[in-house]
């Protein structure tokens, strides 16, 4: 039986992705840093493990558990943390946590996944962010970590192809969604851009549908929604104009953030 690993799966995107993978017939190993992952796993008929993605040994233990259950076919690097505000305002521990969870967690997970799947093939699915695609004042440090996830995944895919290793690396870049992580930063005015989409925040279910749907196609990167990605990429191509446009979006987002 095919087995999938989903990190950061006690709630939010991770739990919804795991739920959909169970629906597709995978045995699913859910990991997270707190005991809530056990209840989350039980609720969908999966297997829960407490694991810190910053620790390479935790990934190896997760892979060993997965291979005990069957053929490890999919590894989803979803775990992440969010911090808002100017980069110089974050303390050293906050900076280290963002980089270690968001970047090293994906790097360590991907390395372990490739090693476990290289003999029979499989897929690594990384959850990045719309913020990876262009400048995002107020989320500069977070956006930098998510840009690293995107570029690491694409570079890794190139290395795998060159080496003839039958593992695909996919990256999903969702816009802001109505999750605990976003709700926690809502009181901070620096989070305003997260609320700037005309249709409002995405749901975790919408993001999970699009992320899991990537397994059926050939695209290496999918942004959700596509029109916001086009805006972000345009801003990155012409940064002077992009930063001005982001300021307009920030003002729109502030009205929504503070208004309800």
What distance in Å separates the CA atoms of residue 6 and residue 9, rounded to the nearest whole number? 6
Rounded-to-5 percentages of helix, strand, coil across the chain: 60, 15, 25
Task: Please give the backbone phi and psi of residue 252, each rounded to the nearest 5 degrees, phi first.
Answer: -65, -45
What distance in Å separates the CA atoms of residue 189 and residue 133, rounded to the nearest whole number? 22
* Burial of residue 47 (number of CB atoms within 10 Å: 0-12, 13-18, 19+): buried
* Burial of residue 137 (number of CB atoms within 10 Å: 0-12, 13-18, 19+): middle
Whether residue 172 contacts residue 154, with contact meaning beta carbons closer than 8 Å, is answered with no
Query: Quick check: is 227 catalytic?
Result: no
Could you say which of 13, 75, 142, 152 is catalytic? 142
Residues catalogued as catalytic: 142
């Amino acid at each position: 039986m095919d087995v999938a690993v989903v990190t950061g799966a006690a709630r939010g995107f991770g739990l919804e992705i795991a739920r959909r993978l169970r629906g597709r017939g995978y045995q699913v190993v859910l990991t997270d840093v707190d005991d809530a992952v056990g209840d989350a796993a039980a609720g969908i008929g999966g297997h829960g493990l407490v694991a810190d993605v910053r620790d390479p040994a935790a990934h190896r233990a997760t892979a060993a558990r997965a291979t005990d259950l069957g053929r490890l076919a999919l590894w989803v690097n979803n775990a992440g943390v969010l911090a808002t505000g100017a980069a110089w305002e974050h303390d050293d521990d906050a900076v280290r946590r963002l980089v270690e969870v968001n970047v090293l967690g994906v790097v360590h997970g991907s390395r372990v996944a490739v090693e476990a799947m290289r003999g029979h093939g499989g897929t690594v699915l990384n959850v990045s962010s719309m913020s990876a695609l262009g400048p995002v004042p107020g989320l500069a440090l977070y956006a930098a970590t998510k840009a690293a996830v995107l570029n690491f995944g694409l570079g890794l895919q190139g290395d795998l192809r060159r080496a003839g290793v039958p593992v695909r690396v996919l990256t999903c870049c969702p816009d802001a969604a109505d999750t605990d992580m976003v709700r926690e930063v809502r009181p901070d005015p620096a989070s305003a851009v997260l609320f700037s989409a005309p249709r409002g925040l995405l749901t975790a279910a919408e993001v999970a549908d699009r992320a899991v749907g990537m397994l059926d196609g050939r695209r290496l990167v999918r942004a959700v929604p596509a029109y916001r990605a086009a805006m972000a990429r345009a801003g990155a191509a012409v940064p002077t104009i992009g930063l001005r446009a982001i300021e307009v979006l920030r003002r729109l987002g502030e009205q929504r953030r503070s208004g309800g």
